[in-house]
Chains A and B, each alone.
Chain A
Amino acid sequence: MTKFSAWNVFWNGLTGQKGWGRQWRDPAPKSHYDVVIIGGGIHGLATAYYLAKNHGITNVAVLEKGWIGGGNAGRNTTIVRSNYARPGNREFYEHSLKLWENLSHELNYNVMFSQRSHISLLHSPGAIDAAARNYNTLRRTGTPDAEIWSLERLKQVVPHLNYAADARFPIMGAAVQKRAGTARHDAVVWGYARAADQFGVDIIQNCEVIGLTRDNGRVTRIETSRGPITAGKVALSVAGSTSRLWSMAGLGGLPIETHKLQAFVSEPIKPLLDQVVVFGIGGAHFYISQSDKGGMVFGGDLDWYKSYAQQGNLPIVQDVSEAAMSVLPCLGRVKLLRHWAGVVDMSMDGSHFLCKTPLDNLYLNAGWNYGGFKASPAAGWYLADLVANDRPHETIACFDLKRFERGLQIDERGAGPDPKLHG
């Protein structure tokens, strides 16, 4: 594998670009692995990478039903932030953001992480007070870049938002995280895949898990479309399909519902928006940024009913377009290029699960709601730690399946046990 460097780019430029081989192998599945990770999204690939790098476990396979990064890894709005205020989430997402900050160097792959600021618009004195409480909490607990901006400052930095005084919800200020931003989602997939492959991890695509055999409290065999595989340990990393694999293992119910979330991209336009802007009030929910190619990348709420179909409905297209027009009216004549939907694990409290399961050698990574992309590096990091050491790191101890029995939910939004409300 050729290392990416300025010299190698220069040299290959002079020699007809013949020095670049394939970026990762395409191996046939072996009959046994020490660890099998089900799900070849960013979370699964990151887990394999950190298992090899941090824990020296390299006899690892990542099984992917389709192609790597073809699920939610390729269906998100690429926003990365760590402005969570609840204990547990705070430490977890800050760790993730720190991993993001060094990711391109670590993987020797440009993931185009752009710390362009994440700006949440505020529309009432009460909203400003609530945001100030959360962001002060962040500043005092290791996230120093959380700021509350006045309307004057916001107008200077993002001049073309709808600041009309007669808007239905006039903008009064903003809560800003300056180290937050966006990354190139495919590059993150490919970077982790290439780096894990270099450690000897087998990335096996077109390999659907169709059954899990259990015996004596353990998963003993994984039936796949490419033959049976045995494994010392098995990790689930299959957002959207978690319940399906959970029932294959005969484990009953989960505090998760599968919903679909749409995202949109417009035709490329000249540079318009340098930050991620979020608008959310009175039933509206909208977030937007501009990709390096110029497309406006944006999204809104779920489709509001449970669904496994990776295709979105039209009422949400209308909803999101209306939100776009109320906050950025200058987009009115920009054409929509594509929209798509991913299926996500909506959990009962809006927080995720990184934990052991009732089966001794089965580990769970699930329940990411709207926000799995930003969590990818830390989810892989902590899941690898959990699989390698067979005990949860203290940072993720609260993200287990038993928290509802204990009455200790991590409900960032305070929406209660209705999965569709945790946006």
Chain B
Amino acid sequence: MIILNCPFCGPRDHSEFDYGGDGSITYPSLDAPVEDWHAAVFLRDNICGVQTETWQHTQGCRMWLLVERDTMSHEVHSIRPAHPGHAAVLEGKV
């Protein structure tokens, strides 16, 4: 079991969460060339090691989170709200 320390709810089992996917993707603008959209939607670096990914605390606060996790050891390195405004407030930057 992976323990995810939700910034809103505290440490919880991963079975409370739904896995989103690669959190490093930035989606291109709507008028970007189709190649850019193809890369964003379909292509993955599929890192073996520490990657940024999205999780949703579905059985808790329902917030989307950005998690840095090792895909081999499952060690969680950092966890913060995916919404930049929430992250800024929680991290005392606002």
Contacts and interface: CB of A to CB of B under 8 A. Distances in A.
Interface of A: 241, 243-244, 247, 252-258, 304-309, 313-315, 348, 404-405, 417-420
B72 interface: yes
B44 A314 contact: no
Contact of A256 (B2, B39, B41, B44): B44
B74 to A, nearest CB: 6
B89 interface: no
Contact of B45 (A243, A305, A308, A420): A243
A315 B14 CA distance: 9
A309 B74 contact: yes
B73 interface: yes
Given A305-B14, A306-B51, A405-B38, A418 B21 contact: yes
Nearest to A349: B42
A308 B48 contact: yes
B78 interface: no
A349 B76 CA distance: 29
Given A305-B19, A306-B53, A257 B73 contact: no
Q: How large is the interface on B (under 10, 10 to 19, 20 to 34, 35 or more residues)?
A: 20 to 34
B46 A420 contact: no
Contact of B43 (A244, A253, A258, A307): A253
B43 A255 contact: yes
B16 to A, nearest CB: 10
25 contacts: A243-B45, A243-B46, A243-B47, A244-B48, A253-B45, A254-B43, A254-B46, A255-B42, A255-B44, A256-B44, A305-B14, A306-B71, A307-B72, A308-B71, A309-B71, A314-B1, A315-B1, A315-B13, A315-B14, A315-B15, A348-B42, A404-B41, A419-B21, A419-B44, A420-B21
Contacts of A241: 48
A64 to B, nearest CB: 18
Nearest to A306: B71
Contacts of A254: 43-44, 46
Contacts of B53: 305-306
In this complex, the member of B35, B45, B55 whose beta carbon has the largest number of chain A beta carbons within 10 angstroms is B45
A243 B44 contact: yes
A243 B43 CA distance: 11
B71 A307 contact: yes
Report the 10 A-B pairs with minimum CB-CB distance, sorted nearest first: A253-B43, A243-B46, A305-B19, A315-B15, A404-B42, A255-B42, A308-B48, A308-B72, A348-B42, A308-B71
Interface of chain A: mostly helix, strand, loop or mixed: mixed
Contacts of B55: 305
A257 B44 contact: yes
Contacts, number: 74
Given A243-B45, A305-B19, 6 more contacts: A253-B44, A254-B43, A255-B43, A307-B72, A313-B14, A420-B21
Nearest to B15: A315
Contacts of A348: 42
Interface in B1-58: 1-2, 13-15, 18-19, 21-22, 34-35, 38-39, 41-48, 51, 53, 55
Contacts of B39: 253
Contacts of B15: 315
Contacts of B38: 404-405
Contacts of A244: 48
B54 to A, nearest CB: 11
B19 A304 contact: yes
A257 B46 contact: yes
Nearest to A316: B15
Nearest to A311: B74
Contacts of A306: 19, 21, 46, 51, 53, 71
A369 B45 CA distance: 17
B73 A309 contact: yes
A315 B59 CA distance: 14
A308 B51 CA distance: 12
A244 B71 CA distance: 13
B44 A247 contact: no
Contact of B46 (A258, A305, A313, A404): A258
Contacts of B35: 405
B27 to A, nearest CB: 13
